[in-house]
Amino acid sequence: MRSLRKTVLACCVLSTALYGIAQSSADPHVTAIRAGKLFEPKSGKMLENQTVLIRGEVIQAVGSNIEIPADAKIIDLSKETVLPGFIDVHTHLTFDAGSGGLQGLTTSVPRQALIGAKNARITLLAGFTTVRNVGAEQFSDVALRDAINDGDVIGPRMQVSGPMLSITGGHGDNNLLPFEYHATGDGVADGPDQIRHKVRENIKYGADVIKFAASGGTMSKGDNPLLESYSPEEMQVLVSEAHRQGRKVATHAHSALSIKDAVRAGVDSVEHGIFLDDEGISLMKERGTYLVPTSFPLFWYTDNMESMHLPKYTEDKIKMILPAAKISMAKAFKSGVKVALGTDAGVYPHGLNAGEYWSMVKLGLTPVKALQAGSINAADLMGWGDRIGTIEPGKFADIVAVNGNPLDDISVLQHVSFVMKGGVVYKTGDQ
């Protein structure tokens, strides 16, 4: 194990060098970014000819008349649009698209951790400087988060959930092997006592957020996305215990009933919300619950499902949910439900995360609302509004740039030309 860790560390150090990271975020260097356009999420306005002054990893000043110190490194983005680093609150970095089903049984947890290191780099270079990873086996996402924080690998800031809580036979269980293997998912817990214990166990081993499956899912075998999994009473115990321990709760919820019972139980976000109905929308607005729509896969799978070679049970579920989800998302967006950007990357290829901006706009959000979903809203949901989500003094210098104006063409966000995280430049131009 020790030799494996040394090998992984050596590979990651080499990867970091290849991407030209010349400075440590701990260095007290001063950088000035000249921005031709700068998106300000709180007002929703595009500001002209701004200067962003950065000291170390933190933004020191922003404005049109900022005095630049003589020793400052100047980055000229005067022909580009500068935005806060993108935030994705629903990723699966330790999974690759198509790695589920029986194929997933052949992938060890150490291998998943290495897959996570690869995908963390891809995600950061796509402009996502912060993610929330919601579901990973045996706390491999905790290890990835800690490796990024320690500087062993490069990747976004992370909040992680560890294993998703699930009923026996539910979306988070291992339903692929026959009885004689007695296979059980890491997060399986039934009844109030087991659920309370599992929440505490996840927190013990490093979870920042608790995720549970309130309904069946799409990629899992034997469960039904039209039905509720946990009972209302079980959900209430789960949410109450997580909140008591200072953790927010995200729920995978497809069915209309599971969404409404989860919202009544006090979840902080509903992930997917495939069959969200009018009553559920009203409840979410009343309680201030965030919707994490994961809408880009609805379009990606329309064009790519055949090439994925998915099992028939998954294909059948996808065909069922695609039209319903698009209708539900459009209705929710029109109603004014709070939205935080989440992509479900890992269900489709990592690095395409910014397609979520495009799909949300296609389903009815304005470009400004979509940009806010991936900045101030996502930061608020994560409880990190004091450190990320805007370009303003005191926040981390997490900054991206694109050619073109996303308020005119949201698809330009899928091609970032510049990525900075914590004052360190990870991507410029065509890297």
For 322-343, write each residue's pLDDT tens digit: 999 999 999 999 999 999 999 9
- Averaged pLDDT of the chain: 92
Q: Residue 308: is its pLDDT beyond 90?
A: no
Token pair recorded at residue 182: 């007695």
Extract the tokens encoding 95.
């999974």
Phi, psi of 354 (to 5 degrees): -70, -10
pTM of the shown model: 0.92
Choose among 83, 34, 130, 7: nearest CA to 382. Answer: 130
Q: Report pLDDT for 430.
A: 54
* Domain chopping of the chain, boundaries: 2-85+390-428, 86-382
CATH of 2-85+390-428, one of 1.20.1250.20, 2.120.10.10, 3.30.2270.10, 2.30.40.10: 2.30.40.10
- Exposure pattern of 113-134 as b/e (b: 16+ CB <10 Å)? bbbbbbbbbbbbbbbbbbbbbb
pLDDT (tens digit per residue) in 160-198? 999 999 999 999 989 888 999 898 999 999 999 999 999
**Whole-angstrom distance, CA of residue 134 vs CA of residue 128:** 16
pLDDT digit string, tens, across residues 253-271: 999 999 999 999 999 999 9
Q: Residue 251 forms beta bridges with which residues?
A: 212, 270
Whether the Cβ atoms of residue 120 and residue 153 lie closer than 8 Å to each other: yes
As a three-state string, the secondary structure of the chain is: CHHHHHHHHHHHHHHHHHCCCCCCCCCCCEEEEEEEEEEECCCCEEEEEEEEEEECCEEEEEECCCCCCCCCEEEEEEEEEEEECEEEEEECCCCCCCCCHHHHCCCCHHHHHHHHHHHHHHHHHCCEEEEEECCCHHHHHHHHHHHHHCCCCCCCEEEECCCCEECCCCCCCCCCCCHHHCCCCCCECCHHHHHHHHHHHHHHCCCCEEEEECECCCCCCCCCCCCECCCHHHHHHHHHHHHHCCCEEEEEECCHHHHHHHHHHCCCEEEECCCCCHHHHHHHHHHCCEEECCCHHHHHHHHHHHHHCCCHHHHHHHHHHHHHHHHHHHHHHHHCCCECCCCCECCECCCCCCHHHHHHHHCCCCHHHHHHHCCHHHHHHHCCCCCCCCCCCCCECCEEEECCCCCCCHHHHHCEEEEEECCEEEEECCC
Compute the half-sphere exposure of residue 295: CA atoms within 13 Å on the CB side of its CA.
31
* Average pLDDT rounded to a whole number, residues 407-428: 98
CATH architecture entry for 86-382? Alpha-Beta Barrel (3.20)
Q: What is the pLDDT of residues 7-58, one digit of tens each?
A: 444 444 444 444 434 344 444 699 999 999 999 999 999 999 999 999 999 9
